[in-house]
Amino acid sequence: MIKKLSLISLFTLMPASFYFAQTTVFAYVKDQDGKPIEKAEVDLAQSTGDTSVDKIGYFQFVDLKPGHYLITVTKPNFESKILEFDVAADEKRKDLGVITLNYNLGSDAGVIVIDDSANDTEDGGSSMQPTVGLLSSGRDAFQNVSAFELGAYWFRPRGVDNRFEDVLFNGVSMSKNDDGKVDFNNWGGLNDVTRYPYENVDNITPSEYTFGNLGGAVYYNTRASSYRKQTSLAYSFTNRSYLHRAIATYSSGLSKSGWAFTFSASRRWGDRAILDGVYQDAYAYFASIEKKFSDRHSLNLTAFGSPTYRASNAPNTQEVYDLMGKNYNSYWGWQDGEKRNSRIRNVYEPVFMLTDYLKIGKNSNWTNTVSYQFGSDARSRLDWFHAADPNPTYYRKLPSYGLLTADEFRQQSQIDWNYLYNTNRINKFEMDGITSRGASYTLIDDVNKDKTFNFSSHFDTKLKDNWKLNINFNYQNLKSDNFRRINDLLGADYANNLNPFNNDVRYNLDDTNTRVRVGDRTQYSYQLTRNHYSLNVSTEIDFKKWNVVASIFASQSESYRNGDYRSGIAQFTNNSKGKSAVYNALDAGIKGKITYKINGKNFIVYNGAFFSLAPTLNEIYINPRVSDFLTPGVKNQIINSNDISYIMRGQILKLRLSGYYTTISNSTELARYYAAVSTDSGSYNTLINEAMSGADKRYMGAELGFDVKITPTINAIGVASVGEYKFTNTPQVYSVDDLNGFRSYGAANIKDYKVAGTPQKAFSFGLKYNSPKYWWVGASANYLMDQYLDFSALNKTAAMYTIPDSGGIIYDGATPEVIQQLTAQKKFDDQFMLNANAGKSFQFGKYRVGVSISVNNILNNRNYVTGGFEQGRAANFTDALAESQRATPYFGPKLWYDRGRTFFTNVYLRF
C-alpha cells in the first residue's frame, strides 16, 4: 500500500516539478543612446516561436526548459547581435539585462543621390537609359554594398531593372502604370522619414504586404507614432546632381492624449555640379498626424510631395565627347548671360493618405488605407516648324560630316537662344508685312497629369503561435491625361498645330483653328484609364528546424485610351479620336520560401516564384499619342525564378552565398526614334515607333556577400556578383510611322545578345573601422565587368539587309560575315572604381551631432560607360555599311559616361 501511495505521489508531483523547472527569459533592447528599439526581431534558435520587441524595448520567452540557448537580435540599420546563455533547472526568471544594438555607422554617409536625368531624353527607347535598383540598404553585406557602393555605378542586382521592383507606402504601390517603374522623385529629399523601411525583402522573397515582383519590395509605414521622438536638422554639400541639401524633421512621439505628429521638409538646389548646364531646385514636405483612440484603434493622415525642377544632360556620340570632353551637355545655351537648359523636368505629384489601424482580438490586425495622388510631370524640349534642327550635335553639324571644322563646331556647340528668338521675329510676317507665319521654333512640354485613387487593405493574424496568415487586397483607379503644350513661343505670336513632316496636315482635323499659344495643347492629346484589382494571400509556418512561407495572388486590370484629336494622317484618322476598346488582363502567381535552420547561425534558404505580369499602358499601345492601335504580339509576361542560399550569421562572420536562375517570357520592348527606312518607292526619314514582341530572357548567376569582424573595431566586407543576362530567342519586330503605317520586319536575330543597362559582373572589397568613440572610416575597391550597349531591334532583322519588296533578295555584299560585323553587340571595357567614407558623431547631453563624407570614384575614372544605346537611324544595309566604313560614323552609339570623382558631405543635429 505504501509503495502504491509513493508511486501516486511521484506521478502527481512530476508535472509540478516540470512546470517549476521551466523558465521565463527576458531582456530589454536599446540603442547606444539608451533609447528602446521598438520592433527589433528576436530569433530564438531552439524555438518555433520568435518574438519582437515592444515599445519599451522589452521581450520575453516563457517556459524555456533547462539547456543552452542562442538568440539573434536584428533591426534594419543596426548591427545585429547574437547572444548565448544557459538556463538552469532551478531558475524561474532569467534577466539577460540590456542588449545594446549599435547604429550601423556610415548609413548616413552612403546616401545615394537619385539622379535619373538620363531617363528624361527621347533619344532612345524605354530600355535604353541606365536605371538603378531600390535605393535602400538591405540586411546583409551584399545588399548594402549593392545599394551604396556598386549602386553608384548603375549596378543592378541580378540584372533586374526598376520595372520589376516595388515600393509601398502603407500598402499603396508607388509604381507608375505607364511604364511600371517607381518614380523616386515623388518623395525625393525625404530621407529622414524614408530611411528605415518597415519591411525590406530582396529579390523574389515573399513579403507580408504584397506579392512583390522580381526585384524585391520595400514597405514604408508612415504612422506618426512609429517615428522616434526627436528633432533633426541636416545640411549636405555635394557635387553630384545638385550642390546643397537641407532637411528638417520633427517627431513628437505619442502624447498622453493619443496624438502623434511627424513633419519633415527639405530643399535640394544648385547649378554648378560636374556636368555643364545641369541644375536643380527641388523642395519636399512630409506630414503625418495620428490620433490613437484606444490601444486597438488609430487613425493616421499622411501627406507628402516633392516639387522638383531639374535640368537634364544629353547622351552623346564618342565623336562629340572627343571634341568637347565628358562634361559636355548639348541641351543648354547662353541667354542674356545665363545658362538656359532646353530639357527641364518639372514634376510635382503630391500624395494624400488616410490609414486606419485596427487590432482585432489578441492576434489579429487590420489596416486599411485610402490614398489620392494627382499632379503633373512635364518634360520640355525644343520643337521646330519648317526650320533646321536646333540641336548643336545634329549629325550634319558634326565635323565628321564635313560642313564644319572641329573649331567651328566648338564655337557653335551650345544652343543659340538668340538665333531662335531672332528667327521667330524675322519670320513673323511674309513679304507683304501683313500675313503672319507663326513660330519656327518653340519650347514645348510633354505632360502627364495623373489622378490616382488607391484602396489598400492588409489583414494579418496568428492562427497559432508559429502560424501566421496575411491577406492583402488592392484597388487602383488611374486617369492619366497626356498631351503636348506650348511652353514658350520664343518671341513669336503663335505656333502652328500642323505636322511639318507630313505635308502640314492638321494634328486635329476637327479644329480648323491651327494657331496655338502659350499653355495651349498641340500635336497630341489623349487620356488613359486603368482599373486594377489584386488579391494576395500569404502564410508563414515556423517549426524548430524549418520555416515555410507561401504566397499566391490574382489580379485583373482593365485599360483603355480616349483620344481628343482626330488625326489628319490617313492611317490614323479612324483610330485616333474617342474611346478605344477595353484591354483586359488577368494575372496570377505563386511564391514560396523554405528555410532550413541548421543551427542558430547557419541556414539554407530556397525561394521560388512563378507568375504572370500584365503589360503596362506604354506596352499595350504602340503609339498612343496618335492612335489606339495595340502593340502587335503584346502579351502578359511569364516569370519563373528560383534561388538558393547558404547564410551564416555569426558574431565574427556574416555570409550569404546564393545562386539564381530566372526566365522572362513574352516581354515587349518599345522604342521611338528617327530612322531612314527603305520602301519600294525610296528611302524616307521618319519617326519610328518600334516594338519588339515576344522576347524571352534568361538571368542566371551567383552572389557572395560577407562581413568579417577582423577585430572588434575592424570589418572586412566583400561582394561578388557573377551573372549572365541574355536574350534566348528571336522575337518579332514591328513598327508604325506616319508614312507607312504598320510594318512587320520579321524576327530580330538577337539570340544570345546581352541585356544592357548594368554590369553583368561586379566585385567589391572594403575595410571599415568603427571606433568605440563613435567615428568610422572605410574604403572599398570596386571592379565592374561585362557592360553592353543596348541595341536597335530593327537593325537586327532581315529587313536591314534585304531589298524591299524583292521577295527576300539580299543586297550585294551582304555576306554573313559583313552582317555579323554590322550587327555585333558592343561590349564596353571593364573598369575599376575606388570609394571611401568617414564620419563621426558627438554626444552633448541630449544633443547628438554627426558629420560624414563619402567620395566615389576617387581615381576620377572617366572611361566608365554607365549606359548607352545604338541609334536606329541607319536602318538599311546601304546606310549601315557606309556607317561601318567611316572613320567616324555619323550615327555612332549615344553614351552616358560616369561623372568621375564625386563627393557627398553631411552634417546633422538631433535632439
d(CA 721, CA 544): 32
365: cell is 490586425
pLDDT tens for each residue of 239-283: 988 999 999 999 999 999 999 999 999 999 998 789 999 999 999
862: cell is 572617366
**Nearest CA to 238 among 277, 185, 274?**
274
Question: How are beta strands 344-348 and 338-341 bridged, if at all?
Answer: unpaired
d(CA 762, CA 159): 11
Backbone angles phi, psi at 410, to 5 degrees: -60, -35
**Nearest CA to 315 among 113, 115, 120, 181?**
120
Instruction: List strand residue ranges (DSSP E) for 88-229, in order.
Output: 93-101, 166-169, 172-173, 199-201, 217-220
**Nearest CA to 590 among 636, 619, 553?**
553
d(CA 614, CA 414): 43
d(CA 99, CA 467): 27
- Rounded to 10 degrees, the C-alpha dihedral 131/134/138/141 comes to 0
Q: Please name the helix (run of DSSP H) or strand (run of DSSP E) that holds residue 559, with its range, or none.
A: strand 546-563
Residue with cell 539587309: 801
Residue 328 and residue 277 in contact, taking contact as beta carbons nearer than 8 Å: no
Give the rounded distance of the alpha carbon of 151 from its chain centre: 11
Residue ranges in the chain whose pLDDT is less than 50: 1-20, 106-118, 124-138
User: CA triplet 358, 359, 364: central angle to 5 degrees?
Assistant: 125
d(CA 225, CA 232): 16
706: cell is 560577407
Residue with cell 564620419: 839
The whole-number pLDDT of residue 77 equals 65
Q: Which residues pair with 585 in a beta bridge?
A: 557
DSSP string, 798-862: GGGTB-TTSSSPBPTT--HHHHHHHHPPPBPPPEEEEEEEEEEEEEETTEEEEEEEEEE-TT---
436: cell is 503672319
**Global confidence as pTM:** 0.88
In terms of Cβ atoms closer than 10 Å to its own Cβ (0-12, 13-18, 19+), residue 497 is buried
d(CA 342, CA 442): 10
Give the rounded distance of the alpha carbon of 865 from its chain centre: 19
The whole-number pLDDT of residue 318 equals 96
The whole-number pLDDT of residue 644 equals 98
d(CA 643, CA 660): 4
d(CA 857, CA 110): 13
How many CA atoms does the CB half-sphere of 904 hold within 13 Å? 24
Those residues with Cβ within 8 angstroms of residue 253's Cβ, 6 or more apart along the chain or in another chain: 225, 228, 229, 260
**Nearest CA to 531 among 551, 550, 558, 509?**
558
Report in angstroms the alpha-carbon separations of 790 from 216, 701, 799, 822, 895. Answer: 24, 21, 19, 14, 10
* Amino acid, res. 307: P
CA terminus-to-terminus distance, the chain: 75
Question: How are beta strands 217-220 and 166-169 bridged, if at all?
Answer: parallel
DSSP string, 685-749: EEEEEEEEEEEEEEEEEEEEEEEEESSSSEEEEEEEEEEEEEE-S--EEEEEETTTEEEEEEEB-
Angle formed by the axes of helices 877-885 and 816-823, to 10°?
70
d(CA 346, CA 444): 12
The whole-number pLDDT of residue 650 equals 86
The whole-number pLDDT of residue 133 equals 36
Report in angstroms the alpha-carbon separations of 753 from 317, 564, 727, 827. Answer: 22, 40, 6, 11
The whole-number pLDDT of residue 147 equals 87
The whole-number pLDDT of residue 530 equals 97
